[in-house]
Amino acid sequence: MTGLALPAIVLMVVVNAYPVIYAGIQAVHDGDLLGLGNFVGFANFQDALTDPLFWRSARFTVIFSLCGVFGSWIIGFALALMLKPDFAGKNLFKILLLLPWIVPIVVSSMSWNWLTATPGSLLPMLAADLGFGRVMFLADPTMAMITVCIFKIWISYPFMMMMMSAALEGIEPNINEAARVDGANARQRLRYIVLPMTARSTYISWILMAMFSVNDFATIYLLTGGGPVNSTTSLIVLAYRSVFQDFRPGFGVAISFLMTAALVTMSVILLRQMRKANMQ
Amino acid sequence: MNDTTASRLKMTRRGFLGTSAAAAAAATFGQPAAFAAEEIKFWDMVWGTGAGYTAAAKELVGGYQPAGDNLGVRYQSVPWANWYQTFTSAAASRTTPAVSSGAAFLPFYFIEKGVIAPADDLIASIDKAGTNDFLPGVLEAMKTDLGYAAMPWSMDLRVVWVRKSLLEKAGVEAPTDWQSFIKVGEALKKIDVVGLGLAGGSTTTDGQHTVSALLINNGGGLFAKDGTLDCVNDRNIETLDFLNELVRKGIIDPYAASYTSDNVTRDWLSGRIGMGFGQTGLDKNFPTEQQSDLAVISPIKSPRGDTGTVYYINPLMMFKTTASQASSEAFLGWYLDNMKVFWEKGVATDVPVRKSIADLPILKQNANLQKSIAEWQPIGKTIGAQAPHPFGALNAVDGGGAGAAFIQQIIEGKTGSKQILETLQAALEKIVK
Amino acid sequence: MSTTATRPRKLALDPRRAGMGRTLATAIVTLVMLGPILVVFWLALRPRLYTDITGPTLETFVYIFAETDILLWLKNSAMVSTLATIISVIVAAPAGYVLSRGRGGAVSAYSLFIFVLQSFPVVVFVIPLFIMFASVGLVDSLSGVAIIYVASSVAVACWMMSAYFDTIPVTLEEAAWIDGCSVFGGFVRIVLRNSLPGVLSTAIYAFLLAWNDYLVALVFLRSDDRFTLPIGLQTFFQQNQTDWGPVMACAVVMLTPPVLIFALLNRFFSIGGIGGALAGK
C-alpha cells in the first residue's frame, strides 16, 4: 500500500533534492550567485547568529507569525460562528468573505498601498478626521509593523474561517441544543462545548498558519519591502535580500536553514503534545 | 554554432561553479538548451514611459534586417520587478539572451564574472565608420580593466525640478545653493507643499538617487578615490546634516520613508511636491498642458561651493551565450544608430548619450533637457564617486537593503548623521568585499 | 424536536427577525472586510492616465482587451493552473490515502518528510531550481512552471485528501478486498469514488496557488507568448509610475475565474480536518 505514496515522494525528491543540496553547499561557502567561492565551514551561520539584524528580523518574524496565527484565527472563528446558522444570503456572504484569500497578493498589496501610503490616502485622512492626528501607516516603523500584521490577518482569515466552519459542522447539533435547554448561555456553550470540540482543528490550523506565516515573503515584501529601517524585515525577507540583492547566497541560505530548523522543531513538539493529549 | 560551443567550453574550463563534486554536477546540469540558430534574443527593460516605450522598441527591432550571414533578432520585454533575480538566474544557468539592456551596474558585475563579452570590437568598428559621436566621458565610464563592459544608450541623470506655479504661489525664486534651498523649502512648507520630494520606500531606489546626488553635490560620495568604501567623511556628514535640517523643518515629507516611485510621481502630479530631484524626463509623466509648469533649475551650490549630481548610464550588454557574437555586434551597432526614434516619439525619459540624438530638433526645443545636458551632465558622477570608474560591487549597493535603510533613517531624522553613515559603512562592508 | 414545543410562543417569530438581524450584521462585517477589494473595483472603473474621460468608465476594460495580450495571458494562466491542479490531485490522492490508512514508522517518517519539505522557503532556492530546470529545457515553459506549482502544493494537498479519506469508513474497502479487489482497486473504486468533495477541495487549493503565483512565474517565464496573468500585470508597471486603471481591470479579470469556481463548488469545499495525518491518530 505504501507504494501509492511513491508518485508524491518521487516528485518532491526530484524537485527539491537538487536545490536543497545545492543550497546546503552554498551555506558553507562564501560565493556569489554565479560561483560557489571558498569553503568557509559554518562561518555563514556564525555571521547570521551574531548579526543584530538577524535577531531583529527573528523578533519580527515571531510577532508577524503570532498575529498571523491568532489574529486570523479569532476573526476566522468569529465569522465561522456567525455563518453557522441559516439565514438569508448566508452562502453569498460565505463566498464574499473568502475574497481576500482569492485576490492575488500583487493586487491586494497595491490596494492597501493606495489606502495607506500618502497623507492624501483614505485611511490617513480618516484618522486625521477622527482626531488621531498624523498617522503614518507605512512610514513609521511601529505603525508599519502593525499595518503589515493587519494586512496578514486580512489575507489569512478566510483560511481560518474555512477550517473552523468545517470543524463546526462536525459538532452534533443535539449537543449544543441540549446544553441550551439545560440553561447554558452562549458564552458557556462556547467555552465548554464548541472550543473543546473544535480543538483539534484549531491546533492543526495554528500549526499550518505558523508555517505559512514564517515562510510568507510576498505579503511583507510587496507592502513594505521590509522597511522602514528594517522594522518589517522578517527572516524570509532578510534571506531573500541577502541572496538576490546583496549577492550573499551563503548567508541568505544559512538564514533560511536556521529558520526551517526552528519551524520544524517547534511544529514537531506541538504535534507531539497534541498526540499526547490524544485530542480528537 | 561554433561560437556557442567554444564559449561553453571556456565557461566549463574556467571552473564556473567551483570545484566540488556537486558543483561539477551542477555544471553538467547547466548546459544551455540548444539555441534556434535563426535568430538571437534581445531583452529590453521597460524603460521610459512604459507601455509606449515597449511598443516603440518592439516596432524598431521588428524592422531590423540583418546583413549577410548575421542572424535576425527577437525582441523580449523584461519587467523591472525583481530584475536581479531574472538576470542572475539566467546567468547562473547560462540562459541569458544575446543582447540585453539592464540596470546601470549589472554589466560591471557580469564582466567581472566572465558572463558578458566586452564591447571593444564594436567600439572600434564605430570609430572606424567615423560615427562615434558619444557625448564626452560616456564611453569612458563603461571602461574596465577587462574592456568596455557595455554600450551606453541613455543616461538617467538626476536634476532639480521645480513647479513654477507653486514657487510663485509661495512667493519665492528658485534656489541657487543649499541655504536658499532651505528658504524656498520653508516657504513651500507654509503653503503645504513638499520642498524635497523623494521616494524612500524599500522597493525603489529613488530616494537613494536623491541622497547620492546631494552627497556628490558636496564633493562626497560613498567611495574613496581608490575605490574603497568611505561613507563616514566630513563632506558626507555635512550633507546628512543638511538633509536632517530639511527633515526637521518639514521640507522632506515624513511619509516619504515608505513611498514607492508611483507614490512620489502622484504627489508631483497632484501638486503636493513643489521641488525635488528627478529624471530629465520627469515632465513626461504629466499631462501635456501641465508640462510647461515644470522647470529644471541650474545646479545648486553646497556651502563649500561645490556642485554635482548623480547619473546612471543605461547599458546595452552582449552576453557570451549568443549564437553568434558577430550577429550580436551587428545588431547592437544598428540599434544604437536607430534608437533616436525613442526621443522622436517622446517615449524616452532619459538623456541621450549621442550628439546626433541630442541635436534632434525636437530635443533642441526642449529647454529643460538642453539645460540638463549643458549644466548638469558635466558635473555628474556615478554612485561609485569618488572612485575613477564603476565596478561590479556597485550592483549590490544600488538597490540593496542597506541603501534603503540608510535613506529611511535619514527621513526618520532621529539618528545623528555620523551614526547613520557608520551604520551604512558597516552594512556595505559585508557586501563590498 | 420536542424542545421547540416548550418554548414560549413569542419565540416563534424570533428566528426570522434574528435571521434578518444576522443578515444585516454579516453584511456590515463583509463590507468592512471587503474594503480593500472595493478599492480594486473602484480603481478599475477610473479612466486611464492621459485620457479626457472623467467619472467612472469601462474604458479600461475595453483597453485591456483591445490593446493588450490579456486573452493570451488568461489562456496561459488557465492552462498552467489546470495542469498543476490535475497533477496535484493525481499525485496527492494516493499519497493521502497512505497517510490516512497507513500506520507505523514508515508512514510517520513520510509525514515528517512532507512537513519538512513544505517548510523550506521556495523563494530562496529559486536559483538552483532554475539551473536544474534549465538543464532539462523546462525554463520558459508552462509545464516547467506547473511542475513547481505541484511541488509547492502537494504537501497540503496530501493532508487535505487524507483528512477527507479519514471520514470514509475503512470497512468499505475491507469488504472489497475480501471480494478479491486489490489495494489499488479498492482505493480507486471504493474510496476515491466517494471522495468527490475531498478531491474538489484539494483541486481548488492547488488551482488557487497556481493561479495567484507571481514569484515563480516571474523568474521562469521569459517570453511574451508564455506570460501568465500576474506577469502580464507587470507590463503596466512603468519605471516611475503605474497606470492603475488597466492593472486593476486586469485584477478584476484575474479574480473572476476563482470567484466563479468558488460560487459553483462552494458546497463541496472544505479544508477542515486537514492533517489528521499530520497530528497522528
Task: Please indicate, yes or no, if residue B327 is contained in any of the structural domains.
Answer: yes
Residues C162 and C91 in one domain: yes
More reliable by pLDDT, B29 or C168: C168
Q: Do C54 and C153 share a domain, yes or no?
A: no
Give how far A195 is from chain C: nearest CA, Å.
15
For residues A57 and A256, is the Cβ–Cβ distance under 8 A? no
What is the reported pLDDT for B93? 86
> Taking Cα atoms as reference points, which of C278, C242, C227 lies closest to residue C69?
C227
- Residues from chain B contacting residue A140 (CB–CB below 8 Å): 254, 257
Whole-angstrom distance, CA of residue C191 vs CA of residue B399 = 54
B326 in the same domain as B258: no
Count the Cβ atoms, other than its own, within 10 Å of residue A279. Answer: 15
**What length is written for chain A?**
280
Residue B192 CA to residue C185 CA, distance in Å, equals 75
Please check whether residue B283 lies inside any domain of the structure. Answer: no
Interface of B with A in 90-109 (CB under 8 A): 91-92, 109
Q: Taking residues B205-226, what's their average pLDDT?
A: 93
| pLDDT score of B236 | 95
Do B103 and B130 belong to one domain? Answer: yes
Instruction: Provide the pLDDT for residue A1.
Output: 67
Interface test with chain C among B262, B267, B342, by most C beta carbons within 10 Å: B262
User: Cβ–Cβ of B258/A18 closer than 8 Å?
Assistant: no
Looking at the structure, do residues B228 and B326 belong to the same domain, yes or no?
Answer: no
Backbone dihedral angles phi then psi of residue B406, each to the nearest 5 degrees? -60, -50
What is the identity of the amino acid at A213? S
Tell me how close the Cα of B251 comes to any Cα of chain A, in angstroms: 15
What pLDDT does B35 receive? 44
Per-chain mean pLDDT for chain A: 88
Query: Which chain B residues contact residue A246 at CB under 8 A?
Result: 396, 400-402, 430-431
Interchain pair C243, B51: CB under 8 A? yes
| Confidence band of C82 (pLDDT split at 50, 70, 90) | very high
510587496: which residue's cell?
A222
Tell me: do C48 and C130 sit in the same domain: no
Backbone angles phi, psi at A273, to 5 degrees: -55, -45
CB-hemisphere CA count at 13 Å for B404?
A: 28
- Whether residues B209 and B109 share a domain: the answer is no
Top mean pLDDT of A267-271, B10-14, B42-46, C186-190 is at B42-46
pLDDT tops 70 at residue B13: no
Which residues of C fall within a CB distance of 8 Å from B80?
A: 237, 239
Task: Give me the residue from B263, B270, B405 closest to A227, CB to CB.
Answer: B405
B377: in domain: no
* CATH assignment of the domain containing B422: 3.40.190.10
Q: Which residue of C has its CA nearest to A151?
A: C36
Domain count, chain B: 2
Single-letter code of the amino acid located at C87: I
Q: The dihedral of CA B95, B97, B98, B100: what is its sign?
A: negative
Biggest alpha carbon distance in chain B? 71
pLDDT at B367: 92
pLDDT range class, residue B20, cuts 50, 70, 90: very low
Q: For the residues of chain A, what is the DSSP string, one character each?
A: -GGGGHHHHHHHHHHHHHHHHHHHHHHTB---SS----B-TTHHHHHHHH-HHHHHHHHHHHHHHHIIIIIHHHHHHHHHHHTSS--TTHHHHHHHTTHHHHS-HHHHHHHHHHHHSSTTSHHHHHHHHTT-----TTTSHHHHHHHHHHHHHHHHHHHHHHHHHHHHHTS-HHHHHHHHHTT--HHHHIIIIIHHHTHHHHHHHHHHHHHHHHT--HHHHHHTTT-STTTT--HHHHHHIIIIIS--HHHHHHHHHHHHHHHHHHHHHHHHHHHHHT--
For residues C13 and C139, membership in a common domain is answered with no
Domain count, chain C: 2
Q: Please tell me which of the candidates A18, A25, A144 has its beta carbon nearest to residue B258.
A: A144
CATH 1.10.3720.10, domain A43-277, yes or no: yes
Which position has the higher pLDDT, A75 or C242?
A: A75
Distance CA A131, CA A125 (A): 10
Check CB contact under 8 Å for B255 and A119: yes
Domain shared by B49 and B118, yes or no: yes
In a domain, B105, yes or no: yes
For residue C257, what are the domain limits?
A: 69-279
pLDDT value at position C52?
Answer: 60
Q: Quick one: pLDDT band at residue B25, thresholds 50, 70, 90?
A: very low
Q: Are residues B259 and B341 in the same domain?
A: no
**B340 found inside a domain:** yes
Instruction: Tell me which chain C residues have a C-beta less than 8 angstroms from the C-beta of A85.
Output: 19, 22
Q: Is 60 exceeded by the pLDDT of residue C280? A: no
| % of chain C at pLDDT higher than 90 | 18
Of C134-143, C259-268, C270-279, the range with the lowest mean pLDDT is: C270-279
Of B30, B47, B92, the CB nearest to C239: B47
Residue C99 has pLDDT above 70, yes or no: yes
pLDDT in tens, B50-109: 778 888 999 999 999 998 889 999 999 888 888 888 898 889 888 899 999 999 999 999
Residues C49 and C87 both lie in one domain: no
Average of per-residue pLDDT across B217-246: 93
Residues C144 and C252 in one domain: yes
- Would the pLDDT of B24 be above 50? no
Question: Higher confidence at residue A49 or residue C52?
Answer: A49
Are the Cβ atoms of C234 and B29 closer than 8 angstroms?
no
What would the pLDDT profile of B354-369 be if each residue is shown by its tens digit?
999 999 999 999 999 9
Say yes or no: C51 and C100 in one domain. no
Q: How confident is the model at residue B111 (pLDDT cuts 50, 70, 90)?
A: very high
Cell numbers for B69: 550571414
Are both C28 and C112 inside the same structural domain? no
Question: Do residues B142 and B163 share a domain?
Answer: no
Residues B142 and B169 in one domain: no
Average pLDDT score, chain C? 81
- Asked whether the predicted pLDDT for residue B31 surpasses 60, the reply is no
Query: Which pLDDT score, from 0 to 100, does residue C183 have?
Result: 84
Share of chain C above pLDDT 70, in %: 84
pLDDT in tens, B286-296: 888 889 999 99
Residue of A nearest to B21 (CA): A25
Specify whether C107 is located in the same domain as C217: yes
What sections of chain C are H helices per DSSP?
A: 2-6, 14-33, 35-44, 59-67, 70-101, 105-119, 126-135, 142-166, 170-178, 183-186, 196-212, 215-220, 229-234, 244-265, 276-279
Q: What is the pLDDT of residue B361?
A: 92
Partners of residue B78 in chain C, C-beta under 8 Å: 222
Of all residues in chain A, what percent carry a pLDDT higher than 90? 40
Which of B322, B350, B368 finishes a domain? Answer: B368
Q: Is the pLDDT of residue B7 over 60?
A: no
Residue B222 CB contacts under 8 Å (≥ 6 apart), including other chains: B212, B215, B229, B230, B231, B236, B383, B384, B385, B397, B424, B428
pTM recorded for the entire structure: 0.88
Work out the minimum CA distance from A244 to partner chain C, whole angstroms: 9
Query: Scanning the structure block, which residue is given the C-alpha cell 558597516?
Result: B426
Residues C40 and C73 in one domain: no
Residue that is written with C-alpha cell 522598441 in the block: B57
Q: What is the mean pLDDT of residues B155-184?
A: 95
CB of A248 within 8 Å of a chain B CB? The answer is yes
Average pLDDT of span B235-243: 96
| C271 pLDDT tier (thresholds 50, 70, 90) | low
Same domain, C165 and C234: yes
Q: Are residues B179 and B208 in the same domain?
A: yes
Comparing A279 with A65, the larger pLDDT belongs to A65
B92 is in which domain, residue-wise? 2-156+312-368
- Residue C12 pLDDT > 50: no
- Where is the domain boundary, C40, C61, C82? C61
Name the grid cell of C119: 517548510
Q: Are residues B200 and B220 in the same domain?
A: yes
Res. B398: pLDDT tops 50: yes
Residues C25 and C83 in one domain: no
Any idea what the CATH number is for the domain that residue C176 is in?
Answer: 1.10.3720.10
Q: Is there a contact between A38 and A120 (Cβ–Cβ < 8 Å)? A: no
**pLDDT value, residue B37:** 54
Question: Is C251–A239 a contact, with Cβ atoms under 8 angstroms apart?
Answer: no
Does the structure show a pLDDT above 90 at C18? no
- Tell me the three state secondary structure of residue C36: helix
pLDDT at B126 over 50: yes
Boundaries of every domain in chain A: 43-277
Most confident of the following: A34-38, B50-54, B420-424? B420-424
pLDDT above 50 (res B267): yes
Chain B residue numbers touching A120 (CB-CB < 8 A): 270, 272
Q: What CA–CA distance (Å, rounded) separates B396 from B403?
A: 10
Q: How far is C92 from chain B (nearest CA, A)?
A: 28
Same domain, B168 and B145: no
Confidence of residue C269 (pLDDT cuts 50, 70, 90): low
- Mutate: best of C119, C220, C231, C274, partner A, most A CBs <10 A: C119
% of chain B exceeding 70 in pLDDT: 91
Question: What is the amino acid identity at position C218?
Answer: L
The 10s digit of each residue's pLDDT in A236-264 is: 999 998 888 888 889 999 999 999 999 88
